[in-house]
Amino acid sequence: MKQVRLLLTGFALFFSLVEGKGQAFNNLPVTTQKPPLHGKHWMAITGKPLAATAGAMTFTKGGNAIDAACAMLAATCTMWDVLSWGGETQALIYNPKTKKVIAINAHGVAPTGATPEFFTNKGMKYPPEYGPLAAVTPGTPGGLMTMLAEYGTMSLKEVLAPAMQMAAGYPIEAQTANSIEKGKDLIKQWPYSKKVFLPHLGASREAPDAGEIFVQKDLLNTLTKLVNAEQQALAKGKSRKDAIYAANDLFYKGEIAKEFSRGCREQGGLITEEDLANWKVKIEEPMMTTYRGIEVYKLQQWTQGPAMLQTLNILENFDLKSMGYNSTRYIHTLYQAMNLAFADRDFYYGDPAFAPEEPMKGLLSKEYAKERSKLIKFDMNDPKIGPGDPYPFEGKANPYLDMLKNWGSASLNAPKNNATLDEKFQESFTAGTTSIEAADEEGWVVSVTPSGGWVPACIAGNTGIGMSQRMQAFVLDPKENPYNVVAPGKRPRVTLTPSLALKNGKPYLAFAKQAGDEQDQLLLQFFLNMVEFDMTVQESCEAPSFKTQQMYSSFGKHERINGGLTLNEAMPAWTRKELGRMGYKINYQERTSGPINAIYFDWTHNSFWGGSSNHGEDYGIGW
């Protein structure tokens, strides 16, 4: 009870400071809307307060950072925090025993029958945004169980306990409840989704009310089956690790897989039992570059993560600090550098398990970055920036030179030319998910960006699990990206991109954010805020950022806006005017800070600093 009282006291202090009632924190003036978190033993941060509590509960029961991250992942999926159990999980883990960073690839694959011809014969330019045909195989259950089995300390039963309590009934938050109401026309097309999401069918408001106890009987039944499989294996003398994998087999090869596939195909989807049985989590080597001596780690090119590494390589050729934070020159330089890297992302990134092989050695070389940096024009935005040719930087010939010449032409994805961002484009470009950061005093560090199966989700049969919508990230025409053309068993390139940084051989930062194609844009700026401008982690999380839309969206119609620039409303008039003269099409948002979640490692005092943006409901607890 003492630990619970201390936790509640921490909640009260946090909210009193956020509301402006507290005047100081650690004897310093409160200069941020949220105070920084401090901890000595552990830190747990994620997209929802209830999910952060699940992480804290796991830590107080003796779990490590992996256990806590898995508990937070399970809770956020159960809360439909713009993701569900049928989505995908991407993670970076720092292992203090080996002092290495590990990459977790728990991304689903395109099912049997998912070919370009299948979709083009249906009159589609891309796979659909919603419904059973948008689904790749579920990756999050396998990702959670693999991380827990390999690097955690607790049982699946212990880690899933908070999520199972929530599935039995939790007070749903207004954001999720309103999202269900907004998407109810789509939800009504899918019988299993309608049963779960619309408890007031026929009323003026058919979704749950904010604060209403939201019950998910089918999901609870699925989670119970997983725990029972684990417990039965333990009773037979299996190890903790093998027992967790017994639950994993039940999901992907047993009765859950059978019902998931049946429910998917009944509603017009393609996922077969064989697709589920053949899918595996991959434990991989991450990508890495250095920026001013700091090692920055990202997942491989099946994510957009290496684009941030490419941008850092380009920016290392400039004196950013002398430009001044968010000055016209600083914004312009970062914008142009990001455009160079994201043009490469749009053409070269894809699943490395499939041919052709992506030229990542060339793309991430410092020499290639130096050549790309020479293309930056400092007087005007360049709307014609396209992918470069990294092949000579790894001693090879580019097999797609003809495609490069015509890339981005009107015959492919004609960019939008309007001066403002319409609501539909903005919604798809910044489609949200959540992020999870955890660290403990033993030295384990976890950064996770899970997603998929967001509302309005199509639920697969009686599993209670919403299917992924990640198929839309594929292209059907190789002229757009020959490395990311849909094929059975292939992973689409995702926007999801957790981050870790090491300094002097020790963890320096764990950071991640939600929101589609803008993720690495804002994570880049967060990182530079700390490295170049000496901000604290909380200041950096809240600092106003800017965004480029001069990159093809990974969602919907895969459009872009040449010169599209989102600025914070507080940007001074003269900066707005200067950027306008440089050819930018500017729009404004009240908050442009994230949401970013991050942990900074203070080796001077052997403690953690936690940061969480003032942008959304993201929340952290430290001890």
Q: Which residue from 359, 404, 428, 414 is spatially nearest to 383, judged by alpha carbons?
A: 414
Taking the C-alpha atoms of residue 22 and residue 3, their distance in angstroms, rounded to an integer, is 23
**For residue 514, what pLDDT is reported?**
79
Instruction: Measure Cα distances from 212 to 198, 207, 555 in Å.
Output: 12, 10, 32
Rounded to whole angstroms, what are the CA distances from 564 to 43, 481, 495, 548? 37, 22, 19, 6
SS (H, E, C) 365-425: CHHHHHHHHCCCCCCCCCCCCCCCCCHHHHCCCCCCHHHHHHCCCCCCCCCECCCCCCHHH
pLDDT of residue 424: 62
Q: Are 333 and 376 in contact (CB under 8 A)?
A: yes
pLDDT at 431: 57
Cβ contact 220:462 at 8 Å = no
**Nearest 5°: phi and psi at 562?**
-60, 125
Q: Which residues lie across from 611 on neighbouring strands?
A: 598
pLDDT of 11:
33
Buried b (16+ CB within 10 A) or exposed e, 240-274: beebbbbbbebbbebebbebbbbbbbebebbbbbe
DSSP string, 286-348: PEEEEETTEEEEE--TTBSHHHHHHHHHHHTTS-HHHH-TT-HHHHHHHHHHHHHHHHHHHHH
* Residues pairing with 547 in the sheet: 566
Mean pLDDT per block of 10 residues along the chain (623 residues) reads: 37 33 36 91 94 97 98 96 92 98 98 98 97 98 98 98 98 93 96 98 97 98 98 98 98 98 98 98 98 98 98 98 96 98 98 97 98 97 96 97 80 48 58 86 97 95 98 96 98 96 98 87 96 96 93 91 93 95 94 89 97 86 96
